[in-house]
Each structure stands twice: as structure tokens, then as C-alpha cells.
């Protein structure tokens, strides 16, 4: 007797057709790559950022991408973003909390106001967005929340990094585990991605300077920094059915930086 295998094939596992995603910090850098990848996999992607002009230009070139001007530190903007997705598509399946900003590398340069501002963008905004998504999700719906952290949240990267940035990104990892524990039985999965060193606005000048670029090469097992697109697969995996039994997990994409 021939056994019938009902397991979906590889393509189906990563197919996001008919699903709705929100990606914050989507106007450039890694966030733009995440938005493009989820849209290419079939999702309708609400790409959120403060720079509306950049979002509009990207949306013209990427089918399935909806530009939304959003300041993630504004509760009004956060709620409007989530509510718009649900109103226009009837659902919200994926949230990628990517919006972030760096702080000064020297702890003695940190001010109380500046430290709080970094936490507000990098940690608190994602928490409040996740809570609003969870509180408006029907009982029968499955949701994947992907929080973007950093190797700076796992290990010291002095003299690059900074106290406020490290605190915010380490906080993202603790928050990910806790929300996964609270919401897992409701079908809401919460995971984190930890990118290593990539050439983006956040690391402006890192790879142009031979001293700092050499530092990255020497301390990364693959002997180089990450290139565009090399984190996208991790986010797609966690956003899709390919990771349906994964929650509370931290997926490190750093070329071996933290494994040394």
C-alpha cells in the first residue's frame, strides 16, 4: 500500500500569498530588504517608516508593497498602522519590528534623554506594536512576530556599539522570549533575528574605513561582513509556515561573529 505524504512542499512552506505583513523601518537598509522579500513571497506588505518620499519611490518598484508614513514612537501612528492593515485586508499575519536607531559609542557621551530616546525607538515601540497586534488578533488566527535585534545585544562590540543601543537590543531578546511564552497558546509566535555586521545606514562608514572593515573580517568566521539579502531568508523563514513550530527563538545571522 502506497503511503500518501500530506506534508507541503518547500515552496508552499515559504508561500505568503494572501497574507498581510507590516515591516517597520522599511524605507532603507535591512528593513527594505525584508519588505521586498515578503512581498516577493506573495504577501501584501505595509512598509512603514518616517520618510514617506523614500517609501513612495520603493512602492512604485515593488508590487504588493503599501507605503505608510509612521513614527513608531507615536501611539497614534502605531494604532493607525495596525488598524489600516486590518481594515483594508481583513487580517494581519506578520509583524517585523525592525525600526531602530544607533546611539553614541562612548557611555560617557550618553545623556538621560538620549538613552531614553534609543529605548523608545528600539525597544518600546516594538513592544507596543506587538501588544496592539496581539490584542486585535482573533482567537483562531495565527500570527508571526519577528523582532530584529543585533549582535550588540548578545556580546560587547566595543569600541563600536554603545550602551543605549546594546541595552535596547538585549532587551529585544528578553522581550521576545517573554511574549512568546505569554502568547504561544493563542497561536502567536514571537521570534528574533540577530544580524551581524552589514553595510547599511546604521553602520555608516564601517566598511569604508579599512581599520574597522579589517576588524570585522578578522573577527568573523566567514572572513567578511554580510551582504544585501543575507538576512532576508531568516526573516522569511520565521514569518512563514516553514517555522510553524518555532517560537521564543533567537536566530543569529552573523557569519560566525558571536560563535568565536
Residues noted as catalytic: 165
Q: Say how many C-beta atoms besides its own lie within 10 A of residue 194's C-beta.
A: 24
Q: Look at residues 24, 14, 16 and name the one whose alpha carbon lies nearest to residue 148.
A: 24
- The answer to whether 194 and 253 are in contact (CB under 8 A) is yes
Instruction: Dig out the grid coordinates for 86 from the structure.
Output: 486590518
Within 10 A of 60 (CB to CB), how many other CB atoms are there? 10
For residue 38, the surrounding DSSP H or E stretch is helix 29-40
Question: In which residue are the cell numbers 518616517 written?
Answer: 50
Q: How far apart are CA 260 and CA 238, in angstroms?
A: 25
What secondary structure does DSSP assign to 2-43, as a single string?
A: PPP--PPPHHHHT--TT-EEEEESTTSHHHHHHHHHHHHTT-
Task: Please count the residues of the chain.
Answer: 260
Instruction: Say how far apart CA 223 and CA 65 lie, in whole Å.
Output: 34
CA distance 83 to 246: 27
- Sheet of 20-24: strand order equals 65-69, 44-49, 20-24, 94-97, 143-148, 188-195, 250-253
Amino acid at each position: 500500500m502506497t503511503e500518501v505524504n500530506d506534508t507541503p512542499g518547500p515552496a508552499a512552506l515559504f508561500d505568503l500569498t494572501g497574507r498581510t505583513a507590516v515591516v517597520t523601518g522599511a524605507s532603507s537598509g535591512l528593513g527594505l530588504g525584508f519588505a521586498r522579500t515578503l512581498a516577493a513571497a506573495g504577501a501584501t506588505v505595509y512598509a512603514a517608516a518616517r520618510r514617506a518620499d523614500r517609501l513612495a519611490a520603493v512602492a512604485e518598484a515593488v508590487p504588493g508593497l503599501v507605503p505608510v508614513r509612521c513614527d513608531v514612537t507615536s501611539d497614534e501612528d502605531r494604532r493607525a498602522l495596525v488598524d489600516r492593515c486590518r481594515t483594508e485586508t481583513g487580517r494581519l499575519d506578520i509583524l517585523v519590528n525592525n525600526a531602530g536607531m544607533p546611539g553614541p559609542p562612548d557611555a560617557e557621551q550618553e545623556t538621560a534623554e538620549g538613552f531614553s530616546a534609543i529605548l523608545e525607538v528600539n525597544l518600546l515601540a516594538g513592544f507596543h506594536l506587538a501588544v496592539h497586534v496581539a490584542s486585535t488578533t482573533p482567537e483562531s488566527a495565527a500570527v508571526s512576530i519577528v523582532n530584529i535585534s543585533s549582535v550588540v545585544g548578545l556580546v560587547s562590540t566595543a569600541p563600536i556599539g554603545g550602551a543605549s543601543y546594546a541595552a535596547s537590543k538585549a532587551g529585544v531578546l528578553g522581550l521576545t522570549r517573554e511574549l512568546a511564552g505569554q502568547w504561544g497558546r493563542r497561536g502567536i509566535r514571537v521570534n528574533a533575528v540577530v544580524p551581524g555586521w552589514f553595510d547599511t545606514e546604521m553602520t555608516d562608514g564601517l566598511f569604508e574605513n579599512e581599520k574597522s572593515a579589517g576588524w570585522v573580517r578578522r573577527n568573523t568566521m566567514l572572513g567578511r561582513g554580510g551582504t544585501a539579502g543575507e538576512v532576508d531568508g531568516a526573516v522569511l523563514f520565521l514569518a512563514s509556515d516553514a517555522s510553524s513550530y518555532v517560537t521564543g527563538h533567537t536566530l543569529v545571522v552573523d557569519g560566525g561573529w558571536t560563535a568565536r
